[in-house]
Amino acid sequence: MEHIKGSQSICFKDSPYIVSSGCIVGSKESEGPLAKWFDITDKDDLFGAQTWEEAESNMQKRACELALSKAHIVPEDVRYLFGGDLLRQGIATSMGVEAFQIPMFGLYGACSTSGEALALCAMSVAAGYGNCMLAVTSSHFGSAEKEFRFPLGYANQRPLASQWTVTGSGAFIVGEKKSHVRISGVTVGKIVDYGLKDSQNMGACMAPAAADTIFQNLKDMTRTEKDYDRIITGDLGYIGQRILIDLLAKEGIDIKERHADCGMMIFDQQTQNTNAGGSGCGCAAVTLAGYILPKIHRGEWKRVLFVPTGALMSTVSYNEGASVPGIAHGIVLEHC
Amino acid sequence: MEHIKGSQSICFKDSPYIVSSGCIVGSKESEGPLAKWFDITDKDDLFGAQTWEEAESNMQKRACELALSKAHIVPEDVRYLFGGDLLRQGIATSMGVEAFQIPMFGLYGACSTSGEALALCAMSVAAGYGNCMLAVTSSHFGSAEKEFRFPLGYANQRPLASQWTVTGSGAFIVGEKKSHVRISGVTVGKIVDYGLKDSQNMGACMAPAAADTIFQNLKDMTRTEKDYDRIITGDLGYIGQRILIDLLAKEGIDIKERHADCGMMIFDQQTQNTNAGGSGCGCAAVTLAGYILPKIHRGEWKRVLFVPTGALMSTVSYNEGASVPGIAHGIVLEHC
């Protein structure tokens, strides 16, 4: 493999497959436009737990169990697990996957983590480090509001630019076993910082990173936007989408007709009061598992660029006046 | 490569090298037993910044710059960066490495993160995904006390079992370019939970994970403890070390004579009031960079098992009564 300077991408010679997936969502997602596509829609946002954090862990566990059972395998068959979430010190993942006893790599890439996990799974399988890897990510509205804004009991008001954290978890078995969807390549994202400081307008903070990764993907793989049936970002929402389209247009790349955003698809903005759209590590993951993968599986879409996007910040960083940089990872999914 | 069920390890056919390293520490470490081995010892724990978090980012930046310059390369030569820290949402890393514009994977493995980063760097180089990767981790006493316990201004009292977070950052270039230290294999850790809930006794929480990873490494690689000149854990401290030795003794593995712990080496417990020892993502990283690697480089030690250990918890998880599970990753370092 030759590595041209500035190339951020890998094209796999033996592309790994997404063998199976599992997804679970909460009450609000169960009333949204994608509801019928999710494996489990649970009206109890606590998922049988006492706290939001434990609820999120329970979702991860159930998403993994679904993915494992659909692939007809047990945890012992999985070589490595790559997982993460939005909470401080990634506790939703630590507590969620502990019971499986799979050797694990904990990740943090904000809402881009599902892309990061899929990239590392695919890289590990393609390298021959194991024939079966597990990627899992999650987010929860209750735990995320508490982590980044205010606990739900405070009835915090939400600006129009804000996004609604998706309560959901998606898990994916990536392996050598043939399926109808393969990961043919990945584009690992750089941190992109336009100096924005409004943590309540994450779409604007993340859009430049998405533009950078999409631009880089097309350049590295010598493709044009027309080589993809869809380019689907994670959670830019309504504001981020406009910025993304504008930024790419400046580079002569017109993605208007083929762009979709998981954060815009998962809720009905008009009736669900989700302001700028959905967000969270779980948003892109459950939309991929429930809605995008089946379309590629059936061959409706032959090649999709999946680009989960993350806003890199914490309550401490923005209270201290730091900007909110973005990062986005690109995963090339192909029907086969 | 064949993958035996239950094996957590990879032995590289073409082992990558640790091409160079850089380390920087703060004032207390500058007065400790390892002071003379560190590249930069800075008496100003703010490292020119206004906040502890920014100080930690500055350390990461300088550690990376050191590693890059010692390898005679520029950031554009590095294919991927793997980094992490202890702070919520990994902001020390996001803000610290942003300027390099290297495509990055953000990690979270508590104090085991340096092992996680080195494992993924080695896996990526050995797989041919690039001839040069960068691993970086950090911790800072000021930011960690604020994150996990109380801001320094509160003059919090520290129980005897507590550990002192190391102010330091270590960076490593892992690549194909020959040096005198190679990473010949890795053992990826599982989450190990003995149900301990005392977040002020992290050594006890992490020791079972260290024991598990060491046991697994010996089993996977069909070695005995005698095949290593040293087995060096990250930050078990005085309490964790005793538990580790006891747990392994039960399995017939006697590591007493060849065990060392970075958390025990970096401070003088008697004169520096560091209670059970040093800890933090930076502890294992700077000790590896400054003290361990040169010894392997010179051939004083031929083969070392380096095992950074992490306690998986957050203020939220332990306030909600969750236990503190541990994780540890094993990195096999060989003189060549």
What are the tens digits of pLDDT across the range A147-197?
999 999 998 899 999 999 999 999 999 999 999 999 999 999 999 999 999
Residues of chain B found within 8 Å of residue A5, distances taken between Cβ atoms: 76-77
Q: What are phi and psi of B329, to 5 degrees?
A: -115, 140
Taking each helix axis as running N to C, give the angle between helix A202-220 and helix A237-250, from 0 to 180 degrees, rounded to the nearest 10.
40
As a whole number of angstroms, the distance between CA B329 and CA B331 comes to 7
Answer whether A269 touches B (CB < 8 Å). Answer: no
**Predicted confidence band at B6 (pLDDT cuts at 50, 70, 90)?**
confident
Residues of chain A found within 8 Å of residue B103, distances taken between Cβ atoms: 8, 188-190
Answer whether B101 touches A (CB < 8 Å). Answer: yes
> Smallest Cβ distance to A124: which of B123, B189, B315?
B123
Kindly tell me if the per-residue pLDDT of A308 is higher than 80: yes
Q: How far does Cα B108 stand from its chain's mean position?
A: 12
Answer whether A321 touches B (CB < 8 Å). Answer: no
Mean pLDDT of chain B: 97
**Is A184 within 8 Å of A13 (Cβ atoms)?**
no
Asked if B91 lies within 8 A of A188 by C-beta distance, the reply is no
- Residue found by looking up tokens 């869809």 in the block: A230
**Three-state DSSP string of chain A:** CCCCCCCCEEECCCCCEEEEEEEEECHHHHCCCCHHHCCEECCCCCCCCCCHHHHHHHHHHHHHHHHHHHCCCCHHHCCEEEEECCCHHHHHHHHHHHHHCCCEEEECECECHHHHHHHHHHHHHHCCCCCEEEEEEEECHHHHHHHHCCCHHHCCCCCCCCCEECCEEEEEEEECCCCCEEEEEEECCCCECCCCCCCCCHHHHHHHHHHHHHHHHHHHCCCCHHHCCEEEECCCHHHHHHHHHHHHHHCCCCCHHHEEEHHHHCCCHHHHCCCCCEECHHHHHHHHHHHHHHHHHHCCCCEEEEECEEECCCHHHHHCCCCCCEEECEEEEEEC
Q: Could you tell me the two tokens for A173?
A: 């078995």
Asked if B104 lies within 8 A of A54 by C-beta distance, the reply is no
As a whole number of angstroms, the distance between CA B63 and CA B318 comes to 32
pTM beyond cutoff 0.90: yes
* pLDDT score, position A94: 97
3-state SS assignment for residue B151: coil
Pairing between strand B80-84 and B104-106? Answer: parallel
Q: What distance, in Å, lies between the first and last C-alpha atoms of chain A?
A: 24
Kindly tell me if the per-residue pLDDT of B30 is higher than 60: yes
- Residue found by looking up tokens 């030569």 in the block: B77
As a whole number of angstroms, the distance between CA B75 and CA B81 comes to 10
Mean pLDDT of A209-235: 98
- pLDDT tens digits for range A237-272: 999 999 999 999 999 999 999 999 999 999 999 999
What 8-state DSSP symbol labels residue B5? T
Side chain identity, residue A125: V
Residues of chain B found within 8 Å of residue A131, distances taken between Cβ atoms: 3
Mean pLDDT of B45-51: 97
Return all residues near B246 (Cβ < 8 A) that are at least 6 apart.
none
- pLDDT tens digits for range A48-101: 999 999 999 999 999 999 999 999 999 999 999 999 999 999 999 999 999 999
3-state SS assignment for residue B291: helix
Query: How many CB pairs (< 8 A) connect A and B?
Result: 179
3-state SS assignment for residue B237: helix
One DSSP character per residue, B57-104 reads HHHHHHHHHHHHHHTT--GGG--EEEEE-SSGGGHHHHHHHGGG---E
Answer whether B272 touches A (CB < 8 Å). Answer: no
| Alpha-carbon distance values, B334 to A7, B174, B303, B331 (Å) | 31, 14, 4, 10
* pLDDT score, position B271: 97
**Is A38 within 8 Å of A290 (Cβ atoms)?**
yes
Q: Could you tell me the two tokens for B170?
A: 């270590």
* Torsion on CA atoms B176, B177, B181, B183, rounded to nearest 10: -10
| Structural element, H or E, at residue B230 | strand B230-233
> Which residue of chain B is at minimal alpha-carbon distance from A50?
B320
As a whole number of angstroms, the distance between CA B126 and CA B175 comes to 8
* pLDDT score, position B5: 73
Q: What distance, in Å, lies between the first and last C-alpha atoms of chain B?
A: 24
> Which residue of chain A is at minimal alpha-carbon distance from B318?
A91
* pLDDT score, position B156: 87
Asked if A110 lies within 8 A of B89 by C-beta distance, the reply is yes
Asked if A5 lies within 8 A of B76 by C-beta distance, the reply is yes
Q: How far does Cα B123 stand from its chain's mean position?
A: 17
As a whole number of angstroms, the distance between CA B202 and CA A1 comes to 43
Return all residues near A170 (Cβ < 8 A) that are at least 6 apart.
A21, A22, A23, A63, A114, A136, A137, A138, A282, A284, A285, A286, A287, A288, A289, A290
> Smallest Cβ distance to B316: which of A91, A97, A104?
A91
* pLDDT score, position B177: 98
**Predicted confidence band at A1 (pLDDT cuts at 50, 70, 90)?**
low
As a whole number of angstroms, the distance between CA B255 and CA B224 comes to 10
> Smallest Cβ distance to A8: which of B103, B314, B315?
B103
Asked if A129 lies within 8 A of B123 by C-beta distance, the reply is yes
**Is A115 within 8 Å of A329 (Cβ atoms)?**
yes
For the stretch A70-89, what's the b/e string if a residue is b when 16 or more beta carbons lie within 10 angstroms of its beta carbon?
Answer: ebebeeebbbbbbbbbbbbb
**Predicted confidence band at A5 (pLDDT cuts at 50, 70, 90)?**
confident
* pLDDT score, position B126: 98
Residues of chain B found within 8 Å of residue A118, distances taken between Cβ atoms: none
Asked if A108 lies within 8 A of B98 by C-beta distance, the reply is no
Instruction: Find residues 22-51 of chain A whose CB sits inside 8 Å of chain B.
Output: 51
Kindly tell me if the per-residue pLDDT of B57 is higher than 80: yes
Q: Which of B108, B196, B324 to mutate to test the interface with A (most CBs of A within 10 A)?
A: B108
Residues of chain B found within 8 Å of residue A103, distances taken between Cβ atoms: 8, 188-190
- Residue found by looking up tokens 């330091």 in the block: B168
Q: Which of A101, A105, A192 to mutate to test the interface with B (most CBs of B within 10 A)?
A: A105
Asked if A3 lies within 8 A of B79 by C-beta distance, the reply is yes
Answer whether B102 touches A (CB < 8 Å). Answer: yes
* pLDDT score, position A156: 87
**Is A126 within 8 Å of A16 (Cβ atoms)?**
yes
Residue B9: strand pairing partners: B187
Q: How far does Cα A19 stand from its chain's mean position?
A: 18
Label residue A246 exposed, middle or buried (CB < 10 Å: 0-12, 13-18, 19+): exposed
Side chain identity, residue B258: R
Instruction: Find residues 162-201 of chain B whose CB sits inside 8 Å of chain A.
Output: 188-191, 193
Residues of chain B found within 8 Å of residue A1, distances taken between Cβ atoms: 128-129
Residues of chain B found within 8 Å of residue A125, distances taken between Cβ atoms: none
* pLDDT score, position B266: 98
Q: How far is A178 from chain B (nearest CA, A)?
A: 18
% residues pLDDT > 90 (chain A): 97
Asked if B5 lies within 8 A of A76 by C-beta distance, the reply is yes
Side chain identity, residue A168: G
Q: How far is A195 from chain B (nearest CA, A)?
A: 12
As a whole number of angstroms, the distance between CA B88 and CA A88 comes to 4
**Predicted confidence band at B3 (pLDDT cuts at 50, 70, 90)?**
low
Label residue B70 exposed, middle or buried (CB < 10 Å: 0-12, 13-18, 19+): middle
> Smallest Cβ distance to A191: which of B94, B109, B128?
B94
Mean pLDDT of A207-211: 98
Asked if B98 lies within 8 A of A325 by C-beta distance, the reply is yes
Asked if B3 lies within 8 A of A79 by C-beta distance, the reply is yes
Answer whether B317 touches A (CB < 8 Å). Answer: yes
> Smallest Cβ distance to A53: which of B88, B109, B317?
B317
**Is B112 within 8 Å of B308 (Cβ atoms)?**
yes
Return all residues near B30 (Cβ < 8 A) that are at least 6 apart.
B38, B41, B42, B43
What 8-state DSSP symbol labels residue B257? G
- pLDDT tens digits for range A267-288: 999 999 999 999 999 999 999 9
Q: How far does Cα A24 stand from its chain's mean position?
A: 14
- Residue found by looking up tokens 């060392």 in the block: B260
As a whole number of angstroms, the distance between CA B37 and CA B29 comes to 11
> Alpha helices, DSSP H only, in chain B?
52-70, 91-97, 113-126, 141-148, 202-220, 237-250, 262-265, 269-272, 281-287, 293-297, 315-319
CA angle A312, A80, A90 (to 5 degrees): 30
% residues pLDDT > 70 (chain A): 99
**Is B310 within 8 Å of B279 (Cβ atoms)?**
no
